[in-house]
Structure 1
Amino acid sequence: MNTLEQYGFTDRIDGLFSFHFPGPDVPEPARVIRADRGRVLVASRHGIVHLDGGNSLVTGDWAAIEPGGSVMGCLPRSSLLQRKRAYDPLSEAQILGANIDLLGVVVPLDRPLSTNRLERTLVAAWDSGALPIVILTKADLSTRFDDVVAETVRRARGVEVLTTSAEDRDGLEDLRGRIGAGQTLALLGPSGAGKSSLINALLGDHRQDTGEVRAGDGRGRHTTTARELVPLGDGAVVMDTPGLRGFALWDAENGLSEVFGDIEDLFGDCRFRDCAHDLEPGCAVRSAIESGALEERRWLSYRKMERELASLHRRQDAAEQRRHARSFHRVARDAALAKDFRNRFRETR
């Protein structure tokens, strides 16, 4: 198996290169292992090399390389994991990875379960186009194992939940069996969740750096500093990612509907079509909360993410209007300059 095949290259990907880059000189296919400030580390049939990739390529991309070694483009992405860039008033997306088949939401069992984080990450996972799974780690350190697993399964609402321990190697066979040749699993979770330890256990080798976790708050330092593909040896690939403190959603309405579809189904049963689900009579949502059929905490979590996405779209619309206004002013200015030039030209004749 050559280097490129180890990073997930298959006959299907080969066919996509021929389709999207037709002609007698089909470019060399390559997979982006890691992207960092305009430089990319890529895997090709001839080995692993560094290239200038600009800022357009991200980890997981399938890049087309010209004979001279320059990047001429990439295949359309089959999936895209993204979030709103932290502390960005202009509301831009931060792309975390591309061409992911399985997205593992990593939940460590050595600390209290954050249901808000779990639901929020599942929203982003569903919206990416990848198939989400929940991976519980550090089962050997949990004193509330059964309770946390049961609560996670309930919150995941049909998403497959796997329980693992890198230390005892429990559950690794089941997880490894979910990643077929040519597939990419991305691990997404907080710092100290055991993502790198899990990859090392899958490899049977100490490939990824790991760090200690503070006993007081369960937090660990960032031993993974960039998103990177790690081959498992048979064409299956894992994407390690740095720990995320938060996850601001980006255009994730589809994912919101996947995770909270039961809530959105209630809207059609409200007496009024424009029900705000607050104090209106005949509100199906309020009735479900009062009867215990819907947990109010879950409803509030949904409303918070819904408002977050609405605010994002308002900022996007405002930014688009400003761009149109600047473009209009430039056109008007150029037209005025052109008219003034024509008038001056006539006066000199």
Structure 2
Amino acid sequence: MNTTKTHNYLIVFGTPLLLILSVILISRDLLFETNSNALSIGITLDLLFTIPFFYFLLIRKKNIPKTTVIPFFVLGIWVASYSIPKEHQFLLNWIKTWVFPLVEIGVVIFVFHKVRQTLKQYKATTKDKQDFFTALKQTCFDILPKRIATFLAMELAVFYYGFIVWKKRVLKENEFSYHKNSGTISLLVAFIFIIGVETYVIHILLLKWSTIAAWVASVLSMYSSLQIFGFLKSILKRPICIEKQQIQLRYGILSETTININEIESIEITTKDLEFNTETRKLSPLGELESHNILITLKTENTLFGLYGTQKKYKKIAFYIDQKEKFKTTLETLCL
């Protein structure tokens, strides 16, 4: 069974890759030098359209996301950029300028459409509203390869929480905030301010050496500030909640973990210093920069998910809750 599955995957992914390799070899052949113009057009069309379409035909009846055609399209652009001489890349440049941006926009629209469908379907079968980031990750994993899905979900979430959702989040029963008294928001705002000041200073200094380097550094810094702003907003929109005999521990979109209540060994209100290691973790990725007032110890090991799908194991997890007494009482009642 596994051998058959492996063989199928080798055909599905190996055949297009062999075709790409053959196109690369053609671009290195002596025949290419005598027919550069015509072959450049043919190679461009093969790499960007023919091979991705052939791959689509291979997967159309298989349980493989159809959107995996996009990576082959992007791979085709990359291969064509290095295989075709610069002077014969007129068609490739046209596609990069006009077609590729449309593909990018199409992917984003498609993902948000699927997220909207997922949220509607969830709402139709339950009285609660599903968390947007959870729905976004689920949708991306359904339509894209895991690595690409993880990256895209995080980038779209930063944009969504940072610039689309502005309505104040009203906490429901068994939902708990963790930012009002912890100083987290002030800390992240300070980070944005510091990055802004450093960006200006570094930009001025780099201008004396290279204009391009100065603007590259500035754009990267501004992008970092936008990401932090998205992280900050997500903390306001994603409370910690207790539902269906589970605790959804969240720190915005930066980290999260789900704890089954029957797996809890103890719940402790504490602000004492802890030694964080492979067994004891902190929910907040800010570590010692942020305080904690709750420590949960589990009977068995669990997983903490961080930025871009990173994973850490733990048996004890520390975090901050604004209403710590109410949180502890609620959990203790459910544990009985």
Q: TM-score range by the shorter chain?
A: under 0.3
Q: Which has the higher strand share?
A: 1
TM-score by length of 2: 0.26
Q: Which has the higher contact order (CA 8 A, sep 6+)?
A: 1
Q: Which has the higher helix share?
A: 2
